[in-house]
A and B are shown apart, each in its own frame.
Chain A
Amino acid sequence: MTEARANTIRINKPRQAIGEGPRTRFALIAIALVFLALMLIAPLVVVFFEAFSRGLGVYIDALAMPDTMSALQLTLLVAAIAVPANLVFGVAASWAIAKFDFKGKSFLLTLIDLPFAVSPVVSGLVFVLLFGANSVLGPWLADMGIQVLFAVPGIVIATIFITFPFVARELIPLMQQQGSSEEEAAVSLGAGGWRTFFLVTLPNVKWGLLYGVLLCNARAMGEFGAVSVVSGHIRGQTNTLPLHIEILYNDNKAAAAFAVASLLAMLALITLAVKTMLEARFAGSLAAQRRH
């Protein structure tokens, strides 16, 4: 190999000299494309195809149904409580974990990850056991006139549990990677804690924070298993959009079920589009590695 050629190889990004041959390359790309098209894209296409299969009229009717509207309202309400709650937690946890060194940090990280390891159905069951009729808390709360299970509070708590790690998981690696020298400079120049956070830390992590909130929101609006266990499926009252989809589908109203599903699918697409846009623009200010 001549020196000139070695230099060209170093400049060109996909270095042919150590890569695979064109046939292997083509075959691998084809396998990846076909697999993703069949496994991921096809289900997404089916949602929109089936939603409009009976025409636009059926689609609009399904969305304008009173049950759909009340399910939509409940879903928005639940997300409006669960997402800010986990946002505040995520910011507090990442400040404590990323900016300070203390013993038991990795254990704390494992505990924060716990909800990821728990089946959604088990998460729901946990709250049934905690607030149910034959628990300690259930009768006590019932005496005070508060119903948690089969009511909105239960759905909110189960959703908070399910989406608990999302914001923290997005922020912690990002804030660890950025270190705390900028904050230390701000503090030594006389800025207070809140001022340091809002003027120094927040601008540095805002895109990662936004993505964490978006993921948290997508999951909060789409959660099915845990909410299904604690909701009691009361139509028009404790049905969220995913539960409403299930009821419509089991009632053999597939087109209506897919119409409602298309709303959540659009939410998913918007989430992914924003994520892709953020990654393209702010590659450095998003955490490199994610686990959900």
Chain B
Amino acid sequence: MTAAAPDRARKTSWRRQSVLPGFNLTLGYTLAYLSLIVLIPLAALAIRSASLGWTEFWAIATDPRIVASLQLSFGAAILAALVNTVFGVIVAWVLVRYRFPGRRWLDAAVDLPFALPTAVAGIALATLYAPNGPFGAFLEGVFGVKVGFTSLGVVVALIFVGLPFVVRTVQPVLEEIDRETEEVSATLGAGRLRTVTRVIMPGLLPAILTGFALSFARGVGEYGSVIFIANNLPFQSEIAPLLIVIKLEEHNYAGATAIATIMLVISFAMLFVINLLQAWSRKWFGHD
């Protein structure tokens, strides 16, 4: 194996020569497993979707109930991602720049939505924000806002699941930012606010946008935490993933496939944008 590897490496021009063994084995296994688990199943969806035909697809895609559910899923995900961007940047800033008791605990808590199953988060949020729950009763009594079992509940659930994405993309970049540029800016007479907005923020922008996009992408597809806190009424608080489940229960595979295809196309476009942002960030700021 070790003796044969350099020979093979010389023949293939698409990879750089290496003395390490195992390239063919590991890459072959990676590609086979990837195809079997991810690519072939996703291709099945694409083929099924293509077999629908354009007119049928369009008829399903423009069904008012489906349009309403997609609008809610994307609208709520954008709103939640915006909230997460604002608070996520503040949390990342506090965690990186300040030292205070309990900082490590706070840092660990940020990952909670990654580790806590969505169904658990869902029933917990539903209990908190229900009209008779502690947060729900307060919000309705003081501000007259109903959160539990409305479309606002959807936004709350998506804020929960999406928050770590912003914090965890902004945090490492913020850690790497050179404090000397800030010192230069301060020495040259810029106020703190001006330094933050003109010197720090431009460097952070790609990370912030990536965090926003990741939080948004996660929110669009989220199901488990949302269905408990929303009352899932069509045209009001019915998200697109739930509608897929409903179509499947009605054995309406065409409908489910069409909604899934629309969601997938938009998610992949998001993934593409995220990768572009990171390439841009690497190119201009030398980190990812």
Q: Which residues of A have CB within 8 Å of B141?
A: none
Q: Which residue of B lies closest to A128 (CB)?
A: B248
How distant is the Cα of A120 from the Cα of B111 in the complex, in angstroms?
19
Minimum CB distance partner of B249 in chain A: A229
Among B59-67, B143-151, B164-172, the one that faces the other chain is: B164-172
Q: Please, what's the 1-or-0 string for A32-48, where 1 marks a CB less than 8 Å from any CB in chain B?
A: 11011011111110110
A125:B248 contact, CB within 8 angstroms: yes
Asked whether A291 lies within 8 Å of B165 as measured between CB atoms, the reply is: yes
Whether A29 and B98, one on each chain, are in contact in the complex, defined by CB atoms closer than 8 angstroms, is yes
Q: Are B29 and A89 in contact (CB under 8 A)?
A: yes
Question: Does A235 sit at the interface, judged by CB under 8 A?
Answer: no
- Name the distance in Å between B168's Cβ and chain A's nearest Cβ: 6
CB distance from B86 to the nearest CB of A (A): 9
Q: Does B241 reach chain A (CB closer than 8 Å)?
A: yes
A76 within 8 A of B: no
Q: Is the CB of B248 within 8 A of A43?
A: no
In the complex, chain A residues whose CB is within 8 Å of the CB of B15: 100-103
Residue among B18, B21, B38 making CB contact with A192, cutoff 8 Å: B21
CB of A121 within 8 Å of the partner chain: yes
Q: How far is the CB of B287 from chain A (nearest CB, A)?
A: 9
In the bound complex, residues from chain A placing their C-beta under 8 Å from that of B221 are 117-122
State how many angstroms separate the Cβ of A277 from the closest Cβ of chain B: 10
B94 within 8 A of A: yes
Known: A184-B19, A289-B288. A129 touches B48 (CB 8 A): yes
Against A, the Cβ 8 Å flags (1 = close, 0 = not) of B179-215 are 1001100100000100100000000000000000010
- Residues in B with CB closer than 8 Å to A118 are 42, 221, 264, 267
When the two chains form their complex, are residues B30 and A31 in contact, meaning their CB atoms are under 8 A apart?
no
Q: Shortest beta-carbon distance, B238 to chain A, in Å?
A: 13
Residues on A with C-beta less than 8 A from B256 are 125
Given A102-B15, A129-B253: A93 in contact with B26 (beta carbons within 8 A):
yes
Inter-chain CA distance A47–B22, complex, in Å, is 47
Give how many B residues have a beta carbon under 8 Å from the other chain's beta carbons.
99
Instruction: Verify if A15 is at the interface (C-beta below 8 Å from B).
Output: yes
Point out the residues of chain B lying under 8 angstroms from A249, CB to CB: 123, 228
B16 within 8 A of A: yes
Query: Are A36 and B110 in contact, with the CB atoms below 8 A?
Result: yes
Residues A272 and B111 in contact in the complex (CB < 8 Å), given A39-B160, A46-B124, A192-B2: yes
Proximity bits, A256-272, B CB within 8 Å = 1, else 0: 01100100110111011
Q: Chain B residues near A44: list those with CB within 8 A.
A: 112, 116, 124
- A106: chain B residues at CB < 8 Å are 275
- Tell me the bound Cα distance from A43 to B19 in angstroms: 52
CA distance A13 to B98 in the complex (A): 10
**Pairwise interchain contact B118-A50, C-beta atoms closer than 8 A:** no
Rounded to whole Å, the gap between the CB of A196 and the closest CB of chain B is 7
The size bracket of the interface on A is 35 or more
Neighbouring B residues of A215 by C-beta, 8 Å: 114-115
Partner of B104, one of A120, A241, A276: A276
Scoring A residues 112 to 124 as 1 if CB is less than 8 Å from chain B, else 0, what string do you get? 1111111111100
Within 8 A of B (CB), among A223-251: 223-225, 228-229, 241-243, 245-246, 249
Docked pose: A17 CA to B192 CA in angstroms: 10
Say how far A149's CB is from chain B's closest CB, in angstroms.
11
Within the complex, the shortest CB–CB distance from B267 to chain A, in Å, comes to 4
Q: Which of B18, B120, B160, B260 contacts A47 (CB 8 A)?
A: B120
Most chain B beta-carbon contacts within 10 A, residue among A100, A183, A241: A100
The answer to the question of A132 belonging to the interface, with a C-beta cut-off of 8 Å to chain B, is yes
List residues 127-152 of chain A with CB under 8 A from any CB of chain B: 127-130, 132, 134-135
Partner of A164, one of B23, B38, B264: B38
Q: Can you list 15 A-B contacts with CB-CB less than 8 angstroms, sorted by A residue number? A: A43-B160, A96-B26, A103-B14, A115-B38, A120-B118, A126-B44, A161-B41, A218-B114, A224-B224, A242-B224, A254-B123, A261-B120, A265-B120, A272-B109, A291-B169
Name B residues whose Cβ lies closer than 8 Å to a Cβ of A: 1-2, 14-16, 18-23, 25-27, 29-30, 33-34, 37-42, 44-45, 48, 87, 90-91, 93-95, 97-100, 104, 106-121, 123-125, 127-128, 135, 159-160, 163-165, 168-169, 172, 179, 182-183, 186, 192, 195, 214, 217, 220-224, 228, 241-242, 244-245, 248, 253, 256-257, 260, 263-264, 267-268, 270-271, 275, 288
Knowing that A36-B91, A193-B2 are A-B contacts, what are 8 other residue pairs whose CB atoms are under 8 Å apart, sorted by A's residue number? A32-B94, A33-B106, A43-B124, A96-B23, A96-B27, A100-B16, A222-B119, A222-B120
